[in-house]
Structure 1
Amino acid sequence: MTTIKAGRPFGARDPHEPNRVSTPLELLFDLVIVIAVASSAEGLHHAVAAGHAVTGLATFAMAFFATWWAWMNFTWFASAYDNDGPVYRLITCVIMAGALAVAAGVPRVFAGGQLTLVIVGYIVMRICMVAFWLIAAHSDPRHRGTAVSYAVGIAVVQLYWTMALLVFRPTGLGTVAGLFMLGALMEMAVPLLAEARGKTPWHHHHVAERHSLFVIIVLGEVLLASAAAFTYADAPSGHPAQLVILALSALAITFAMWWLYFSQEGPLDEARFASSFNWSYAHALIYAGGAATGAGFAVAIDNAAGQGHHAPELASNLAVAVPLAIYMVALWFVRDRLVLKGPWRHGLPVFAAAVIAAGHIGHWALPTMAFLTVLAVIARSQVQCRQA
């Protein structure tokens, strides 16, 4: 049983600490992230089904970024400074409250572009990270410059969000998207600038495990779609055979996506500054691709079940094909291009292109994508065995 270490300072943890795994508090944080991811995926699902794919994708990108970025910043900080004391726990609980506010505000963003609740929740999470870094700066003199750089950088960007999106209240998707992109770039620049002053003592195994758990979270969206297909299979207005095929296709794709990611650990390099950032930042595409694949299947299931809006077949197919292809390409970028040898190290981009092509073949597109994804697992496993 975990005990509260009252008054323990936020000193740097040993980056080589044995048996370091996710804490119960981090797993509770992940549960909050599940809700936020599900809210973003549901919004994308309804936007595509209603024929507003472009708006839906832009809104999904903004909502998903807010969730992922807050999770990732907390994860890397916790890897270096988690002391499990009362102050640490309380600040983390406030961060989780902010994440729930973001999740609650996402439907409003999709419905009418109301950003206030999402931005307020996001700023709450980020100000808590400023507090974390200031405490770390006080407790860890060796990394004080890095910690202060984080705190100042995060605070400056929150001032930008407050002015750009709450005070001026921009209208129009293009204006909001432009302000968002600038803010996102500023956010992602903060760790690069801060870590340049001295690398924080994050734990390799802990960070890798945390990222893998986020993969499981987003794959849950595809499993949820599969369950919905089985649920609607006996609906009077639906097509039972088609729904069963969709459910089995979603299951096969989920298992294959999981297998592809967990077939081999990616090269998270502790020594190379740029490598660790490439690895972590590119994971955002893996996560977004997984969550959006579930949203795409939900669109296809709505069509087959006669529920809600009826999206065009091509749009429905591509709503699965595009994010699935993004998942494959991102996984190739963070791992396969670096760990596999010969022409087969480019196998995943080839399968990604095949999945996009399959999205154009009509009624059998999704089963074909499932077949291609399973084939990618088999092909990669054979290559891995030959190179072992």
Structure 2
Amino acid sequence: MTGPTRNWLVPMRARSTDEPHRVSTPLELFFDLCFVVAVAQAAAPLHHSIAEHHVLSGLRGYLMVFFAIWWAWMNFTWFASAYDTDDDVYRLTTFVQIAGCLVLAAGVGPAFEDADFRIITIGYVIMRLALVAQWLRASRSDPERRNVAQRYAIGVAVVQLFWILRLWTPESWPVLPLFLVLVLADVAVPVWAERASGGPTTYHPHHISERYGLFTIIVLGESVSAATLAFRGALDEGSDYNTVLLRLAVAGLVIVFALWWLYFDRSAHALVTTLRTSFLWGYGHYFIFAAAAAVGAGLGVAVDHATHHAEISSTLAGYAIAVPVAVYLFFVWLLHIRPHQSGPMLLAFPVAVVLALLTPLTHASLELLAAVLVGLVAVNVTLGRRVPDRIS
């Protein structure tokens, strides 16, 4: 018995926005898992930078690297929702993007240690130019949205040229301002392209919300993995810290469980039904993803501090977790909760953000942070669901 014959190349036409049973494909799931390798490589240096009291440089490097990971992932995700043909050429082009992500991951170390962004830039450009090829395919097969697809291809290609030229800028030039200019150019491409005649591109709201949810799960899982490695390393040195590590482990798990609960407590597909809301929702997830991955780095810092492997204050160790948790809560509230809720429930998340940022000023800050999150989950479950949903 043989299976159905696969197509090498099929017309890349826009998929329907209300296509039934539109779920993530095995290729998309594989794509996500490979990107988590890059996320892990970005979070590990952040952990060590904070533990060595190089907070600002570590945070700057982390946010810069994470932008490249997130932006390449996001562009593939939205393109796939509109044009996934699952033919052989599409699969091979996606494999090129995955290979570029792995090249980027290999360059994280030099970027953090020596401010050498050559390998990261090469990996990023590989991912982005593979997407240019996809958009050129779409421009040939989808006459209605040809102008949109061509704008994407031109815009992405031009910005990549400037990313490459950035590698030859004089060392005296400031790194961060130039980086921010190129970031703004990159994120402006979809805004410009989607306003072309014939646009916007189609996408499936349920599929998009599922894809973002799956990546949130994977990033939170990476936090658990990073924390587990830190705990394992501490335990291997002896049993002197078993009690304190057990407390940290329980509190850390409660924090991650609560973050998962709060993200998935409301359906998100109704939030991506217009171009404006889709941009805000999609772009805002940069902070959710980056904060979720940084929680794992923060838990690693907490373990280092508890086992006296980090010469930092207990307050800084507490903020290594409290800050990403607060950022995560704020953007989950902004993107997921605020559009649904009205009245007093709108205050629950901002209050929790403030309380989270106060916990490092106390003893047992991690346990108190876990308690704040448990309280927020309880309020959201008991009171939040009694309020009529404004957009369901």
TM-score by length of 2: 0.94
Name the structure 1 match of 2:10: 8
Q: Alpha carbons of 1:267 and 1:305: their partners in 2 closer, same or farther (altered >3 Å)?
A: same
Cα separation, 1, equivalents of 2:183 and 2:34: 22
Cα separation, 2, equivalents of 1:188 and 1:239: 46
- Matched to 1:367, the amino acid is E
Cα drift, residue 10 of structure 1: 1.0
Cα drift, residue 265 of structure 1: 1.3
Structure 2 residue 228 is the aligned partner of structure 1 residue 220: no
Alpha-carbon contact 1:337-1:346 (below 8 Å) kept: no
**Secondary structure of the equivalent of 2:32?**
helix
Structure 2 residue 349 is the aligned partner of structure 1 residue 348: yes
Name the structure 2 match of 1:122: 124
Cα separation, 1, equivalents of 2:176 and 2:11: 41
Structure 2 residue 237 is the aligned partner of structure 1 residue 235: yes
Cα separation, 1, equivalents of 2:269 and 2:341: 11
Q: Alpha carbons of 1:5 and 1:369: their partners in 2 closer, same or farther (altered >3 Å)?
A: same
Alpha-carbon contact 2:104-2:120 (below 8 Å) kept: yes
1:155-213 per-residue CA deviation (whole Å, 9 max, x = no partner) reads: 1111111112x1215457xx111111111111111111111121111111111100001
Cα separation, 2, equivalents of 1:317 and 1:269: 34
Cα separation, 1, equivalents of 2:36 and 2:140: 33
Structure 2 residue 96 is the aligned partner of structure 1 residue 94: yes
Name the structure 1 match of 2:372: 372
Q: Alpha carbons of 1:154 and 1:314: their partners in 2 closer, same or farther (altered >3 Å)?
A: same
Cα drift, residue 236 of structure 1: 2.5
Name the structure 2 match of 1:275: 277
**Secondary structure of the equivalent of 1:359?**
helix
Cα separation, 2, equivalents of 1:79 and 1:267: 13
Structure 2 residue 363 is the aligned partner of structure 1 residue 384: no
1:350-382 per-residue CA deviation (whole Å, 9 max, x = no partner) reads: 1011000001113x0011001101111111111
Cα separation, 1, equivalents of 2:55 and 2:145: 45
**Secondary structure of the equivalent of 2:237?**
coil
Cα separation, 2, equivalents of 1:245 and 1:314: 17
- Matched to 2:175, the amino acid is V
Alpha-carbon contact 1:222-1:250 (below 8 Å) kept: no
The alignment-based identity, stated in percent, is 42
Cα separation, 1, equivalents of 2:172 and 2:54: 18
Q: Alpha carbons of 1:229 and 1:196: their partners in 2 closer, same or farther (altered >3 Å)?
A: same
Name the structure 1 match of 2:180: 181
**Secondary structure of the equivalent of 1:338?**
coil
Counterpart of 2:299 (choices 293, 297, 300) is 297
* Unpaired segments ≥5 residues, structure 1: none
Name the structure 2 match of 1:147: 149
Cα drift, residue 268 of structure 1: 4.3
Alpha-carbon contact 2:272-2:281 (below 8 Å) kept: no
Name the structure 2 match of 1:21: 23
Cα separation, 1, equivalents of 2:59 and 2:137: 38
Alpha-carbon contact 2:345-2:384 (below 8 Å) kept: no
**Secondary structure of the equivalent of 2:9?**
coil
Cα drift, residue 128 of structure 1: 0.8
Cα separation, 2, equivalents of 1:54 and 1:331: 25
Alpha-carbon contact 1:17-1:203 (below 8 Å) kept: yes
- Matched to 1:369, the amino acid is L
Runs of 4+ in 1 over 3 A off after TM superposition: 1-4, 169-172, 267-271
TM-score by length of 1: 0.95
Q: Alpha carbons of 1:171 and 1:114: their partners in 2 closer, same or farther (altered >3 Å)?
A: farther
Cα separation, 2, equivalents of 1:93 and 1:305: 42
Cα drift, residue 223 of structure 1: 1.2
Name the structure 2 match of 1:191: 190
Q: RMSD across aligned C-alpha pairs, in angstroms?
A: 1.7
Cα separation, 2, equivalents of 1:321 and 1:305: 19
Cα separation, 1, equivalents of 2:20 and 2:86: 17
- Matched to 1:318, the amino acid is Y
Q: Alpha carbons of 1:303 and 1:270: their partners in 2 closer, same or farther (altered >3 Å)?
A: closer
Q: Alpha carbons of 1:12 and 1:22: their partners in 2 closer, same or farther (altered >3 Å)?
A: same
Cα separation, 1, equivalents of 2:302 and 2:271: 40
Alpha-carbon contact 1:146-1:195 (below 8 Å) kept: yes
1:315-370 per-residue CA deviation (whole Å, 9 max, x = no partner) reads: 111010001000000001102111011021121111011000001113x0011001
Cα separation, 2, equivalents of 1:27 and 1:87: 18
Cα separation, 2, equivalents of 1:102 and 1:3: 35
Alpha-carbon contact 1:150-1:191 (below 8 Å) kept: yes
Q: Give aligned pairs, total.
A: 383
Q: Alpha carbons of 1:100 and 1:169: their partners in 2 closer, same or farther (altered >3 Å)?
A: farther
Cα drift, residue 233 of structure 1: 3.6
- Matched to 1:259, the amino acid is W
